[in-house]
Structures are given as C-alpha cells and as structure tokens.
Structure 1
Amino acid sequence: MGSTKLPLRHRMLPVLAIAFGAPVCAEFLQAYLPSTGDAPEVLLSLLILAPLYGGTALLIREVAVRRGLGWTGVLLLAAAFGVAMPGLVDLSLFVEHRDDIAYWDELRQGTFVAELGIAVFPTMSWVAGHVFMSVGAPLAVLEAFASRHRGRPLLGPVGTVVTAGLCVLAALLIRADSVRLYGQSGLTRTLVVLAVIVALGLLALTRAGQPIEPGQVRPMPVWSLALIGAVGMFSFDILPATWTGVTIMTVLLVVVAALLWWWSSATAWSPKQVAALAAGALIGRTLIGFLAPLPDGVSLLAKLSQNTLLLAAVLALAWLLTYRRASRDSQSAAPAAESGSSAPLETAT
C-alpha cells in the first residue's frame, strides 16, 4: 500500500492536471481533429475526453502507487489502455473508412491484413501513442512538479469509484457513437482484444512491473534527455504507413525499450530526468502537428494558431523541467521511505 494521501484540497490540482492534461497530450498536440482551432469545441471535447483519458491515467497511477509498481508496470497498463481504445472504445482498429479523416484509407491500406481485419501500422502507432502520450508523459510531468505527492495516492475510495464510473461511462458513450457510425466489431474480435488487454494487465502486476533497482552512475543531463525525447517522438511520427514503416517502428521501439532498461539499471534517474524525456516527446509530437494535414472545415490560420500556442506551452514546460531548481527532488522519497513502502514511478522504466 502506498503512503497516506494528502488532504483533498492539496490533491485537486494534480488530479485536474492529469484529467485534462492527458487528452491534450493524446489528441490535441497533433492538431488533426475537426475541432482544431475552435476554442469552445476544443473545451467541449476536453470535457468529454477528460474522464476517459485522464481518468485512465489517474487509475493507472493509483494501481502503481498502491501495488508498488515501477515505470515498466505503468507502461504495461498503459499498453492495455492503448489496445482498449481502438479495439473496444472508438473501434478504430476495425473501421474501414472514415469521412472525417481524409488520409484514413491511406493509413490502413499499406499494411492491412485481411485475415485479421486490422492494419498493422496504425495499430502499433495508436497503442504506442497511448503509452507515451495518454499515460506516460502526463504522469512523468506530474511526478516532476508535484514532488510531495510522489508515492502517495491521489484518489480515495470514493474518488476511485467516481473516476472509474466516469471513465466507463465516457468509453460507453464513445463506443455507442462508433457503433452507430461504423457498426459492431464482432464477438471474436472483441474477445481477442479483451484477451490481449487482460494479458498486459496481469503482466504489469507480476515481477516484470516492479521498479528496477537503479545503479549508481549519474544519468544524462536533462537537456539531452529532452532532445532525445523530441527527436525520437518526431522520428516515430513521420514513419510511412507501410511495411517499411512497421519494420522501422519495431526496431525503434525495441531499441528505445532496451536503452531505457539499461539506463535505468545502470544509472540513478530522478523524476526530473524522466519528465525531461517525456517533455521532449511532447515537443516532438507538437512539431508533428505543424505537418498534419489540414482538417476539413478548419482554416489554416486556426490550425497554426493552435499549433503555435501548444508548442509555446510545451517548450515552456521543457524549460521549467530543464532549468528550474531541483531542490525538492531530494525530499521526494521521504514519505514513502518513512512508511516502509516502495515508491513507484521513481525508476525510469
């Protein structure tokens, strides 16, 4: 069990930050939605997506804190969510055509496998995107800024039930809309997706999801980690939707996972350094937004305005993470250490 949570008035800000930060990181940085540049519609979308994306991120964090999981466990749970979103919620995994996204057919056709009814490239891209953007980046940033909450729950019993209920409700509403527009995905496909989700969730709760014992070597400077995150995410997002893209993406993901695992076991990461890597990824994803096709009905000025505003925000975030004093970092593990429990999210992977 994680250490005791702080009073509600101290937990509201980080809870809201994750609730609304997760959908921004996941969906709005790329500026590809029809709501791009329309502030009222963006806010409405946030209200709908916050319980789903933000609620999931909060629930994953709660599991990690209470079960003593490390970043590996968090990312495995995020991968389960990454499979659930296109496979069970918005059904993108099986949708053959979408009128609201001009490049949808091109995205699927290059790596479509008729026997499975899915396209490999977008499937990998969506799952990895949810791992990095929907869950990983928001939680990493929170750990850097909200030092007194590290190793502490943010949700109590009532908060957990309410968050889970709103998350499920949002998922059901989105699924119902997808079924209305695109039809059912089929029982067999649904069962396969469920099996994958359960397998990832169970794996996260095994020893594989526990924190890695850090080494004593000093890790890389935060500015270099931010640069690696930006270049890596940008490279990931510009891959072509072809089998060549699938091959490069696979190699890239394996290399990144291996490097992070090695760095985590050889060096002593701080939450600030983990967050710098995540902030770099946010910069890379935001830069890709400038290259995203103009959504139907959206003016170029509106799109560029959103691109610029979000880029300024993530650059400011990266600057704060890179240059602000880290005086409170040394105090971050004190509550968990005093309680005798392990502090999750303190290890790089």
Structure 2
Amino acid sequence: MNKRGIGAAASLFFLAPLVAEYLLGDIPLVAIAAMIALAPMYGGGAILIREAVRHTGRGWPTFILLALAYAVMEEGLVSTTLFDPHYLGLSLLSYGYIPALGTAFPWAIYVLSIHILWSMAVPIGLTEALFHETEPKPWLGRIGLVVTSLLLLFGVIAGGLFQRNHDPFRETPVEMISVLVVVLLLIVAAFRFPRRAPTQSPRAAPAALVGGACFLIGSALLLIYGRGSSAGWPWPATVLAELIIDGLLLGLFWWATRMRAWNALAAWSAATGGLLVYAWYGYVIEHDFHNDFDFWPHSMLVAFFILLAIGAGLNVAKRSRTTA
C-alpha cells in the first residue's frame, strides 16, 4: 500500500456514492450529510470489489458477480426495496409483483442492474483512469482492506437503521435468510472463475465504439423500465426487454475483452459513456421525485463529473503515451 493507492481508494470512497445517488438525482445535494452513511456503504463496497478482483487477478465475470452480490445485499437488507411494496410511497413492486417471491421482476432486474453498472463499474472505471497505471495493481494492503471492511459494515448498519427508523416495513425472516444465502452463493461463484491472462490481440478494443455503446445501452435500460411501467406494458415484456439490454451489454464486453485487446482508454471510455447516462437521466429523476427541483446545484454536479471525466481521459492518454 502506498500514498497513490490510498489516494485512489479515498477518491473512489467518495465518488461511488456521488455517482450512485447524487448524480442520479435520488438524493439532492442539500442532503450531502447522508454521505456519512452512503460513503462507507457505496465506497467501501466499491473498493473491496475492485481490490478483490485486482488481488486475485480475475476479470469481468468476477466483478459482475461481486457487484451483483453487493446490489442484492443493499436492496434486500438495507433499503429493502426488493420486498417493500410501499418504499417511499412509490409502490415500486406494484408492476409485475409475484406474491410467492415477495418481489417484482421488472424492478428487481432494473435496480440490480443499475447498481452493477453505476454504483460500482462507473466510479471504479473513472477512478482507475484518474490514477492510471500501466498494469492495474491493488491499492490497499491487509490493513487497508480491514479498515475498508469495517467502514462497509458501518455503512450497511447505519443505512439499515436509518431505513427502519423512517419506514414501518420489515422483511420476513425467510426474506432475510434468502438474501444472505444468495449473497454468499454469488461471492463463492465469483471466485470460481479462473485467473485470465490479457487477450493477445493485435487490435485494441475501439474506445469510441465502447463508450458510445455504453451510453446508448445504458440509456435504453433506464428508459425501458420507466416506459414499460408507466405505459402499462405487460410486465413479462418489460422483463424480456431488460434482459435483452443486459445481454447486449454483456455481449459488448465479451467482444471487447475476448476478441480485442482491452486497454485503459477503452475502460475510461466505457466509464464515461455510463457516466453521461446518469448526467442526463438525473434531471428526469430530480424533476419527478423532488418538488423543489434542484436544477443549478445538480447542474454543477454534472459539470464537475464531466470535467473529472475529461481530466481522467487526458491522464490516461498522457500516461499511455509516456509508457508506450
């Protein structure tokens, strides 16, 4: 562990919740005090997932399963939106609700997908570009990982207590046990994938294509769920569309990492493409869910992230030329 690694981890610690909640517009900037719980939860989770992948030398499959485990944990045990039929008065589960499972597939696929993509992948990719290294290495040693784990635990407990103090809903013991079992199985499965050597291809993954595709596919994912639920589509049709979109994204990364040589520029472009999705969609969420539309503060946050992404891209380009 070195100063650069600590700086990178500290940056991700704050960037993850800023992207996941504030850039999305779920939480306005005036409620920045919520970072006390959100940073340890989102940031701690993002750091541990990134470090687990880098320490073990694994790739995208491991990351996806670990990020999914985090998403199930947060939405099943902390915010409980997977089971709460009246979360924040929004009735998120009314569309496609399955009584036997206690949840709704359209919402479950949507919310788990956005955690994988925007709570974890985008801030991790952006931070790695800001602290670009020729060979991605772990940022933290044993002590750093222990501290991060304790911060994550604090964030989960604080977030869970806050939710329970403001919402009378309580998940059943069966639901809680089911979530814990699923999280454990996902973590075990994540490390069943073998370590993979970089693809030896003479052609690099096209950064512009990857970034543009991430922006379009990410936008489609958000729009499909909103359109399906508001327009009264049959919920299986929305679920099918969501799965197709997720499949397209998985196919894109399979092609870009298996058939081409994946590099830092492509990773930055993918993260930036995803970031720009929240940059525009956050205005929709701000308008729909907050009566006092926080336009200018939110625009300042969007501008901050766009400038940060530009700086990260310039850093990747500069350091890539230096080491070429």
Q: TM-score, normalised by structure 2?
A: 0.88
In structure 1, what residue type is equivalent to 2:181?
Answer: A
Assess if the C-alpha contact under 8 Å between 1:113 and 1:119 holds in 2.
yes
Q: In structure 1, the residue corresponding to 2:287 is in which secondary structure?
A: coil
Choose 137-146 or 319-328, whichever is displaced more.
319-328
Q: Does 1:109 align with 2:94?
A: yes
Q: Does 1:52 align with 2:41?
A: yes
Assess if the C-alpha contact under 8 Å between 1:23 and 1:53 holds in 2.
yes
Counterpart pick for 1:305 among 293, 296, 299 = 296
Aligned to 2:186: 200
Aligned to 2:305: 314
CA–CA distance in structure 1, aligned partners of residues 70 and 323 of structure 2: 28
How far does residue 110 in structure 1 lie from its aligned partner after superposition?
1.4
Aligned to 2:232: none
Aligned to 1:136: 121
CA–CA distance in structure 1, aligned partners of residues 252 and 147 of structure 2: 38
Q: Does 1:152 align with 2:143?
A: no
Q: TM-score, normalised by structure 1?
A: 0.82
Q: Cα distance 1:15–1:132, how it changes in 2: closer, same or farther (>3 A)?
A: same
Counterpart pick for 2:277 among 280, 284, 300 = 284
Q: Does 1:15 align with 2:9?
A: yes
The share of aligned pairs that are identical, in percent, is: 23
How far does residue 326 in structure 1 lie from its aligned partner after superposition?
2.1
How far does residue 69 in structure 1 lie from its aligned partner after superposition?
1.3
Assess if the C-alpha contact under 8 Å between 1:216 and 1:267 holds in 2.
yes
Aligned to 1:342: none
Aligned to 2:255: 262
In structure 2, what residue type is equivalent to 1:32?
Answer: D
How far does residue 141 in structure 1 lie from its aligned partner after superposition?
1.6
In structure 2, what residue type is equivalent to 1:118?
Answer: T
Assess if the C-alpha contact under 8 Å between 1:90 and 1:175 holds in 2.
yes
Instruction: Give CA deviations for 1:81-100 in whole Å, capped at 9, x if unaligned.
Output: 0111111122111111134x
How far does residue 243 in structure 1 lie from its aligned partner after superposition?
3.2
Aligned to 1:187: 173
Choose 323-332 or 139-148, whichever is displaced more.
323-332
More helix by share: 2
How far does residue 154 in structure 1 lie from its aligned partner after superposition?
2.0
Q: In structure 2, the residue corresponding to 1:79 is in which secondary structure?
A: helix
Q: Does 1:245 align with 2:238?
A: yes
In structure 2, what residue type is equivalent to 1:309?
Answer: M
Q: Cα distance 1:112–1:32, how it changes in 2: closer, same or farther (>3 A)?
A: same
Structure 2: any 5+ residue segments left out of the alignment?
230-234
Assess if the C-alpha contact under 8 Å between 1:214 and 1:269 holds in 2.
yes
Q: In structure 2, the residue corresponding to 1:227 is in which secondary structure?
A: helix
Assess if the C-alpha contact under 8 Å between 2:106 and 2:239 holds in 1.
yes
Structure 1: any 5+ residue segments left out of the alignment?
334-349
Instruction: Give CA deviations for 1:255-296 in whole Å, capped at 9, x if unaligned.
Output: 221231122111011122112111111101221111225366
In structure 2, what residue type is equivalent to 1:328?
Answer: R
How far does residue 113 in structure 1 lie from its aligned partner after superposition?
0.7
Give matches, 1:22-41, under 5 Å.
Answer: 22-33=16-27, 36-38=28-30, 41=31
CA–CA distance in structure 2, aligned partners of residues 112 and 152 of structure 1: 43
In structure 2, what residue type is equivalent to 1:57?
Answer: A
Q: In structure 2, the residue corresponding to 1:207 is in which secondary structure?
A: coil
Instruction: Give CA deviations for 1:195-216 in whole Å, capped at 9, x if unaligned.
Output: 21112111110126x3364141
How far does residue 324 in structure 1 lie from its aligned partner after superposition?
5.6
Q: Does 1:211 align with 2:196?
A: yes
CA–CA distance in structure 2, aligned partners of residues 325 and 296 of structure 1: 37
CA–CA distance in structure 2, aligned partners of residues 245 and 291 of structure 1: 20
Q: Cα distance 1:67–1:325, how it changes in 2: closer, same or farther (>3 A)?
A: closer
Q: Cα distance 1:10–1:263, how it changes in 2: closer, same or farther (>3 A)?
A: closer
Assess if the C-alpha contact under 8 Å between 1:237 and 1:285 holds in 2.
no
Q: In structure 1, the residue corresponding to 2:87 is in which secondary structure?
A: coil
Choose 89-98 or 324-333, whichever is displaced more.
324-333
Counterpart pick for 1:235 among 220, 224, 241 = 220
CA–CA distance in structure 2, aligned partners of residues 162 and 149 of structure 1: 27
In structure 2, what residue type is equivalent to 1:304?
Answer: F
How far does residue 66 in structure 1 lie from its aligned partner after superposition?
1.7
In structure 2, what residue type is equivalent to 1:299?
Answer: D
Assess if the C-alpha contact under 8 Å between 2:214 and 2:273 holds in 1.
yes
Aligned to 1:119: 104
Q: In structure 2, the residue corresponding to 1:88 is in which secondary structure?
A: helix
Choose 237-246 or 114-123, whichever is displaced more.
237-246
How far does residue 194 in structure 1 lie from its aligned partner after superposition?
1.4
Q: In structure 2, the residue corresponding to 1:51 is in which secondary structure?
A: helix
